[in-house]
Structures are given as structure tokens and as C-alpha cells.
Amino acid sequence: MEKRLQFTDVEVVEVPWSEPVVSQDLPVIPVETYAQRIADLRERMEQNGFSHVIVYGDREHFANTRFLTGYDPRFEESLVIVGLSGKPRLLVGLEGLYYAGIAQGVEVELYDKFSLQGQPRQGRSLAEILADCQITSTSRVGLVGTKYDETGEFDDAAFVTDVPYYIVDTLIRIVGSENLSEVTAWFTHSTTGLRIPLTVDEIARNEMINQMVYAGMKEAISALKPGVSEIDISSRLGFDGSVPLSCHIVVSFGDNVGLALNSPTSRKLEHGDPLSVALGVWGGNIARTGIAVADASELKPEIKDAVEKVFVPYFDMLIRWYRSLRVGVKCGAVYESVREYMEEPFFNIALNAGHLIRDEEWINAPFVPGSEDVLVSGTMIQCDIIVPATAPYPGVHTEDGLVVADADLRAQLAQKYPEVWARIQRRREMMQNLGYELHEDVLPLSEMQGQVTPFMLNPTQVLSLKR
């Protein structure tokens, strides 16, 4: 077993915040990329004997739809119907009919059932639309929802999906249950999912989005002081709506930290409070927890050893986790790198050792014991190991995003987006100066990457291995 990092191995060092480079001119995903995604899906359909794949989406579960078409349902539901040839059909509600002008490479049709209640009803039935898409009793159809079953709880069920029943029932009536299959894993499986690897344009886009998130986090955390309210701090995050939220904004002080996903309130920060600040949008999420003190001398008597007891072990966990990452690594091996901490009761870790992220905040989480899944080039990962509070100690959470990329993808990024590449290299150097060992595949996207900040009233003071 690897020797644990000791309190005497660590020091607190100053890492000044860099100035964010914020641009509203984000890379655009080319039309050709959407066409290639449809082609890749059709190749998988042909390999598995499917005539059609139907992808369900709604306001919360939009990412599969957006991946294929560039369209995300905002008020309503949607379906993308993909055959082996011709343009896919995108079904939307009345509100979405106008917004669907952003969709790429599809035919758009109004399906009244997706419209909000009380709106006009004048279009065709789902059965009529499916027939027009050549879905018949001889068709074999794959259905894509949001989550595929991993537990075996419903092994006795005829069909398991999170797609609304009325859609499933209509399909079964047309093609029969024997010709309908659940294929969500085609999109979101951690290794084989079509949506897992990012293109070079998406890596650059998400790096720039992380700059936007960092700019807000920097302003918000810099404003922390006793007497400010959670709402005071959340208002500093600078969220302008240009890139939609992937999760609720979190600013919590004191007991509210234990609520985890609570929205900001008028509660005021008291000296010595635990606190949490997080901002997540499509493609970027940064979160920090710590204590409202300026240094270790200000810790309350009952947690005077919090740095040694909580923050140094957490730093050790992050060092091990980042060291394990590279293209091709088995995800079970990543878990093994931090197993002793993950399974120690004191740390009380309930979630996985990190997860995959894309437009949605959590796409899948392969870092579990024995996982044979491997990280493919282009995979975006969220370092999201959360240590909850174990009374009387506070919890700790240092959350940032990264991409693992092979030599070819790294070369593309360096050539096409040299400024993005240069920022990534500076971050790698910063992390290595703190004691992290990074494989060349690891591309950190956050300016705060891996910075463990116990003293949130002095947030540029971070943990480092002693030089």
C-alpha cells in the first residue's frame, strides 16, 4: 500500500490568481461535425441490424439531442428520428418550433403532444409521423433515453427505459416489443459511447468556457468576508446566461453547506463557518469548499487539526487520482489509486471518484471497483471527489475539469488553438509545482486546477508538497 502523505510533507504556499481571459467568441461546432455524428450513429445501426434510432430529449435531458442536432429542448420534449438514409426528423413542441432554427441537418416537424398545455393542437399524431419516417411492423428500432439500467432491478420487465410510456407504447404497437431495443448506452457508455470523446473544437470551447466560470469564481471568492450573505456572493459570479447552467448555482454558509444543492439565501457568513461556492455551465464546472478563516491560527479549537485530519489526506487523494489518469487506463485502476480513502469511514465519501462531464454536469461515472472501462482520447472528466463533513470537522471539495488526449489530439489542439494550448501548459506547470505528477495526456481546463484551499478568506493560499 502506498505510504500516505503526512502533515509534515505539506506546506501552504501562495499561488496568485491569474487574470481570466474571457471571450464571448467561442469556437462553433462545424456543420460537418453534426453530419459525422449522424454517420457514426448509422454505422452502429447497420452493424447491429437497426433500421431506426429514436432519441428522446427534454429540458433537463437535452444532451443527446444537442449532440446530434445542435438543438436543446427548452420548454418541452423532443424526438430525433434517425433512419439509415435521408435527413433525421426532429419533433418539437410549439415553443421549440422557432428555436429549432438552430438545428443542423434535420427536418423539423411540430408534434402537438410536446407543446405546453393549453396551446393549439393541429398537427399529426405520433403514429402518423413514425409511419412517414418509414417505421413499420418490419422495422427494428433502438430507443435512446437518458440513463440505461445498470442494476438489474428490472430484469423481469419486458422493456426498461426512462422514455415516457406513451412514446414506448406507440412504438410497441407499431413494431412489436421484440423489435424495440433500449440503446442509450450507445451514447453514454463511458468507453464506447458516441458522446464521450470531444472534438478539438469542443476541447477549445470548453477550455474557454472554463475561463468564464473561473472569472466568476474568482470574483465571488474574493468577496468572501464575515457579514456577506450567500446572495451577495452568488451575485458576484457574473453568470450572464450566454452559456446555460448545467446545475443550480451553489453558495452556502454554515449549516446550509450540509444541504449540498441548496440555492443561495440571505444567510450571512460568520467567521469560522464552513462554506461552499460552485458554478457549473455547459462544458465547465468549478466548485470549492473550505472554512471562513484566513489561516490555521483562526480555526475553532475543536478543529485545530483540520488541515492535518481532512485537507492533507484530501490533497493526497487528489495527487494519487491525477497521477493515475491517462488515455487507455482502466477506470478500475483509477479507483484503486484512491481506494483506501474512498472506503475509509471517516471521510464518508458517497459518490464516485470523479465522473465524466460534457454539456450536462454528469454524463457517467466509470471510476468504480473492478471497472474494465477505459478512458478514450477526448474524454472530459470532472475531478469531483466530495468529502462530506464528519462532525466536528468540515468537508472538503476541490472540483475542476480536464480532458485526457492522445498525442494526435494534443497536436491538433496546439496547432488550431495555440492560445488555449499555452494556457493548458501553464496550468500543468502550476500543478507540477504543487507536487502533482501528470501524464502528458492530462489537459487541465481550470485556472484553479487541483488547488486545495482550506482558508477561504485567504484563497490564494493552497496546499503544496514541500519543495
Q: Per-residue pLDDT for 1 more than 80?
A: no
Residue with cell 432491478: 153
pLDDT of residue 154: 87
Determine phi and psi for 10, rounding to 5 degrees.
-120, 145
pLDDT of residue 352: 87
Q: What average pLDDT does this structure show over 21-48?
A: 97
Give percent of the chain above pLDDT 70: 100
Which residues, at least 6 apart from 50, have a Cβ–Cβ distance to it below 8 Å? 140, 141, 142, 181, 183
98-154 pLDDT per residue, tens: 999 999 999 999 999 999 999 998 889 999 999 999 999 999 999 999 999 888 888
Q: Are 240 and 249 in contact (CB under 8 A)?
A: no
The region that residue 12 occupies, defined by phi over 0 for left and psi between -120 and 50 for alpha, beta otherwise, is beta
> What kind of architecture, by CATH, is found in domain 7-26+199-465?
Alpha-Beta Complex (3.90)
Q: Per-residue pLDDT for 201 more than 90?
A: yes
pLDDT of residue 390: 87
CA distance from start to end of the chain = 24
Q: Kindly compute the dihedral angle of the four CA atoms of residues 233, 236, 241, 245, in this order, to the nearest 10 degrees.
A: -40
71-106 pLDDT per residue, tens: 999 999 999 999 999 999 999 999 999 999 999 999
pLDDT of residue 458: 97
Strand spans (E) along 282-387? 284-291, 355-356, 379-383, 386-387
464 vs 386: CA distance, rounded Å: 19
- The one-letter code for the residue type at 456 is M
Q: C-alpha 274: how far from its chain's center?
A: 25
Q: Are 172 and 165 in contact (CB under 8 A)?
A: no
Domains 7-26+199-465 and 31-188 share a fold: no
247 vs 43: CA distance, rounded Å: 33
35 vs 54: CA distance, rounded Å: 17
Q: Per-residue pLDDT for 164 more than 90?
A: yes
411-439 pLDDT per residue, tens: 999 999 999 999 999 999 999 999 999 99
pLDDT of residue 28: 94
- The one-letter code for the residue type at 223 is A
325 vs 440: CA distance, rounded Å: 10
Q: Are 196 and 359 in contact (CB under 8 A)?
A: no
Give the pTM.
Answer: 0.96
The domain spans of the chain are: 7-26+199-465, 31-188
Q: Are 448 and 400 in contact (CB under 8 A)?
A: yes
Query: Which has the closest alpha carbon to 423: 237, 239, 246, 209?
Result: 209
259-313 pLDDT per residue, tens: 989 999 999 999 999 999 999 999 999 999 999 999 999 999 999 999 999 999 9
42-68 pLDDT per residue, tens: 999 999 999 999 999 999 999 999 999
User: What fold, for 31-188?
Assistant: Creatine Amidinohydrolase; Chain A, domain 1 (3.40.350)
Q: C-alpha 282: how far from its chain's center?
A: 8
Determine phi and psi for 220, rounding to 5 degrees.
-70, -50
Q: How confident is the model at residue 7 (pLDDT cuts 50, 70, 90)?
A: very high
Q: Per-residue pLDDT for 389 more than 90?
A: no
38 vs 107: CA distance, rounded Å: 13
220-271 pLDDT per residue, tens: 999 999 999 999 999 999 999 999 999 999 999 999 999 989 999 999 999 9
84 vs 52: CA distance, rounded Å: 7
Determine phi and psi for 149, rounding to 5 degrees.
-70, 130
Q: How confident is the model at residue 195 (pLDDT cuts 50, 70, 90)?
A: very high
Q: Which three cell numbers stand for residue 42?
A: 448509422
450 vs 125: CA distance, rounded Å: 52
